[in-house]
Structure 1
Amino acid sequence: MGNRAKARRGRAEDPVNRQRVSIEGVEAFLRKAAAVQPDRDQVAFLCIGTDCSTGDSFGPLVGTLLKQSGWGRVVGTLDDPCDADRYESLKSAIPESLLTIAIDACLGSKEEEPGYIVGEGPLFPGHAVGKRLSPAGHYSIAGIVGPKSVKPYWTIQHASLHEVLGMARALASAVQAAWSQPEVEAMRLKA
C-alpha cells in the first residue's frame, strides 16, 4: 500500500472521539482540561495557522489573544505564526511534560451559530486543505471557519474575518474562564 493510501486510511481511523460543539461545549471541554492540569504554567497552546489567510488566521488570532491575557506558553501568534513550514520545529520545541492544547481552523458544515470541533487527543493540522502534518496536542480544538468544499484553499482564504475574529475572541475567553474557576484555583493553590 502506498504512503498516500496509508495516510488516508490512518486519518479515517482517527482514534479520537471528536464532537461538534458550540462555545458552551468548548467551555465545558476546557473545564475538564483545567481540572486535569490546574497549573497554568504547565499548559501550552499550539495555535496553528498563518496570518496570510483569513480563515487560517484563527489559530494565530487565538494565540495572540492568549499571549495578551498573560499566558506564557503560547506557540503561534500573528507576530510569530506556527504555519506549515515551521510547524514541526515549533511543535517539537514544546516540552512533552506540558499539557498541550492544539488549536487550528477547519472546514465543516457551516451553521448559523459558530461551531468548534473538540477532542481529547491530537489534532491533525492541515487536513482541510490536504496537508499531512504530524498530529499534535493532548487536547484539540478546531474552529469551523467555512463549509467543506471542492476548493478548500479558496474557502479558507475567503472566510469572514468578522466571524473568525469573533470565534477567536470567544475561545480565548473560554480558556481564561476555565482556568479561573474557583475549583481550579483551589487545586492550583494546593499543588
Structure 2
Amino acid sequence: MAIREQGQGGGKRKLDAGGLTAFFREIRGLHKPEKITFLCIGTDRSTGDSLGPLTGSQLLEYGFPHVIGTLPSPCDANNLTKRMIEIPSGHIVIAVDACLGPHAAVGYYFASMEPLHPAKSVGLALPAVGHYSLAAVVDANGPKPYRTLQTTPLNRVMGMAGTIATAAAAGFGLSR
C-alpha cells in the first residue's frame, strides 16, 4: 500500500504512536474485544514487509485470541485469500500492513475506518481487507518500491510493530 498524501480517500488519519491507542480504544468502544480479529499482512522474507508478522506475533503475546499473520505463519500476497477463510464468522477485522509514503510520513501510521488495499505499492491487485485498517509507513516511496521494502531498516520496522502491539493492548485493556 502506498500513501501519497494525508487525507486522500477513505478518511485516513495520520497518527503518531500516541494516536494509535486512541484509535484502538475507539474500536473497542464500538465492538466487543472477543469479536475482533487482527489480520497482519506481510512476510518475514522482506525487512520492510515484516511489520505485519512481527506485529501479529506480539499481539499474540499480549493475549489477543484472534490473530492471523505471525512470524511462524505469515499472511502474505501468496496466501492472503486462503488465510481470510480463517476469520471467524461475524468478526470485525483490523487489517495491519506496512506501506511506503512520503519522506515526511516515515514512522507514522495511517488509520482508517475502511478496508486496506495490500501490496498496492508493489503493483499487485489483492482484495481489500478489513473493516478497519492501519498502514505503517516504514519507508519513503520511490521508483523501486520492492527494493525499498527489501532494504528498509529492521530496527525501524521492529519498533513500529512493537508500538502497534503495545497501543492495541492499551486500547483494548490488555497487558502482558
Q: Give the TM-score normalised by the residue count of structure 1.
A: 0.83
Distance 1:109 1:25 in 2: 19
Q: CA deviation at 1:91?
A: 1.2
After TM superposition, list the pairs within 5 Å mapping 1:134-153 onto structure 2: 134-153=127-146
Distance 2:86 2:71 in 1: 19
Distance 2:30 2:86 in 1: 22
**Hey, what does 2:160 align to over in structure 1?**
167
- Name the CA shift for 1:82/1:113 in 2 (closer, same or farther; >3 Å): closer
Q: CA deviation at 1:110?
A: 2.8
Quick one: which amino acid aligns to residue 17 of structure 1? G
Is the counterpart of residue 52 in structure 1 residue 45 in structure 2?
yes
**Hey, what does 1:34 align to over in structure 2?**
28
Distance 1:96 1:106 in 2: 28
Q: CA deviation at 1:21?
A: 1.5
8 Å CA contact 1:110, 1:144 repeated in 2: no
Aligned-pair RMSD on alpha carbons? 1.6
Deviant stretches of 4+, over 2 Å: 110-113
The one of the two structures with greater contact order (alpha-carbon pairs below 8 A, sep at least 6) is: 2
**Hey, what does 1:22 align to over in structure 2?**
16
Q: Whose radius of gyration is greater, 1 or 2?
A: 1
Q: CA deviation at 1:40?
A: 2.3
Between the aligned residues of both structures, percent identity stands at: 39
8 Å CA contact 2:98, 2:136 repeated in 1: yes
- Which secondary structure does the structure 2 equivalent of 1:177 belong to? helix
Aligned residues: 167
Distance 1:86 1:144 in 2: 23
Q: Which runs of 5+ in 2 are unaligned?
A: 1-7
Distance 2:155 2:18 in 1: 20
8 Å CA contact 1:22, 1:113 repeated in 2: no
Q: CA deviation at 1:105?
A: 0.4
Distance 1:122 1:113 in 2: 21
- 1:108-160 deviation digits (Å, cap 9, x = unpaired): 02348720111001000001111110001111001101101000001011111
After TM superposition, list the pairs within 5 Å mapping 1:63-82 onto structure 2: 63-82=56-75
Distance 2:143 2:82 in 1: 30
Higher helix share: 1
Q: Decide which moves more: 39-48 or 74-83.
A: 39-48
Q: Which runs of 5+ in 1 are unaligned?
A: 1-13, 182-191
Is the counterpart of residue 101 in structure 1 residue 94 in structure 2?
yes
- Which secondary structure does the structure 1 equivalent of 2:127 belong to? coil
- Which secondary structure does the structure 1 equivalent of 2:103 belong to? coil
Distance 2:74 2:103 in 1: 26
